[in-house]
Structure 1
Amino acid sequence: MKIRIPATSANLGPGFDSCGIALSLYLFIEVLEPSDQWEIIHDLGNDIPSDATNLMITTALALAPDLAPHKIKMESDVPLARGLGSSSSVIVAGIELANRLGNLNLSQKEKIEIATKIEGHPDNVAPAICGDFVVACYFSEKKTDKVSYVKHYFPECDIIAFIPNTELLTTESREVLPQSFTYSQAVEASAIANVMIAAVINGNLPLAGKMMEEDRWHERYRQKFIPHLASIRQLGKDEGAYGCFLSGAGPTVLILSPEDKTTRLMKTLQALDKNATIERLSIDREGVQAF
């Protein structure tokens, strides 16, 4: 059995902890023969466990404690700690592993609820499971955890990922965010997010991109960690991009680009930082797949 999970980008600017898209970078899992103990075969570095302490296995065993151990091959295009949902993809892989090997017959909604409870918010895990563009909310109450979500078609465009050669942990980036907003600040930030979502649904990428760049929730506070954001945003404007935004907590920046502008824009971005990786991506429409 093989499992494929897409990378994701959360927030899309003002859709903080709520909006996300699935991208054409992938975590690949191949379940091999049964074994006496869990063994994860990968070349992702010494920081990624190769035994039962791997996040994928701990997630799977939390759902199905009696799963028989297997050898598993893990390969990933998703860079670690770059704001592209690397940990979320592993969590979703663990849920799908338990679902398939344990014959749990989980619904899509159940998968999202489980993944959100583990991750803490649905903006990465929901598009990793559903694919495409997902808007979701999560309420943690005394007796139950409730997730509501809507999947919608994201308009066709190129998505350029500017991936710096530096890591940024979400925990570090989240610490700089304010603990509260005034009423008027919250209304303004919420209105921008609402227009952004409506523009995406309406297929109006110029307006959606403009609203993505008007975020009030998090980007202005995280800019000190992302010195290249302002430069990329200006380059995007100069080259005719729809807009750009931090991918998750950063440091990756995503640029929404008309197809005829992409090649030139990628060359310009590479000149900005020769050590950065520049990827031309698209929306993954399917989400997690097992075959």
Structure 2
Amino acid sequence: MDTATVARFEAGRARLASLAYRLLGSAADAEDVVQDAFLRWQAADREYIETPEAWLTKVVTNLSLDRLRSAQARRERAAGAWLPEPLLDGDPMLGPAETAEQRESVTFAVLRLLETLGPVERAVYVLREAFSHSHAEIAEILEITESASQQHAHRARRRIAAGRDTAEIDRAAARRIVEAFVAAAASGRTEQLVALLTDDATALSDGAGLAETLRRIPTPEKIAAVTRAGFVPTPAKRRLVGAPLSIYAAVVNGAPAVIAATAQGVAGVVVLEVRDGKIASISGMASPSRTGRVNEQWLRGEHPDPVVESW
């Protein structure tokens, strides 16, 4: 390919990656899909592609749907091993963020709700709400009728609206929430943690990256007990980390997050989704398969002062 043709693809790479991420909930899978799309762009007879952006959007959407329908994806999700891959605030893969709908479409709450939709409903919702495609354009991309696109969009909006209830958070608010959470966890008193949680709070954890399936913690009292135990530093935990650890506050997928990091990178991420001023959901991840993108972005960027200097 000539330089101009490569440049045309690269100009849209971030948009294509953010589309694939919303559809798949995985930054690693999104990057693979975009690379596959590049290979198809390279091999295509581009003389007959009237609108490259539309052509590439169709290719990325359908490659993503193929992955969602794959046997491996179905096994992983059925086995309870799936969580959205976290992205730090400012990551270009988060994509367009001008509207509330666009920002909401990359929250953990909505990405999990998208898991309850069929692949086509999921694609229609993302293309319509996050990328403002018309139903005529969506029909062309997915090879369905406009009427079918409208019906899928209506059902998807209804499902998403029924389940979403978390609030938008800025960096200052995120730090306050993280500081309160860490202080309560370090206090050794579970009642302080319970007071920060909604009555129906739930948590998911990959067991410090060691568990094959996610551990589900169903009640505020159990969440508080597990969190308190997890935040107690021990020689075994320090050996596992292998370096001095600090605790930071960040915004991840629009929510407050605890980042545990050493000088070598991110050791773990805890995403705190907030509703009515309290924590409604906690997602703890330490597996490199889930924190790889956060680690890359963390090592490239500047960091705020830690909430805990030395853990």
Q: Decide: shared fold, TM above 0.5.
A: no
Q: Which has the higher helix share?
A: 2
Question: Which structure's relative contact order is higher, taking Cα pairs within 8 Å and 6+ residues apart?
Answer: 1
- Superposition TM-score, scaled by structure 2 size: 0.27
Q: Which has the higher strand share?
A: 1
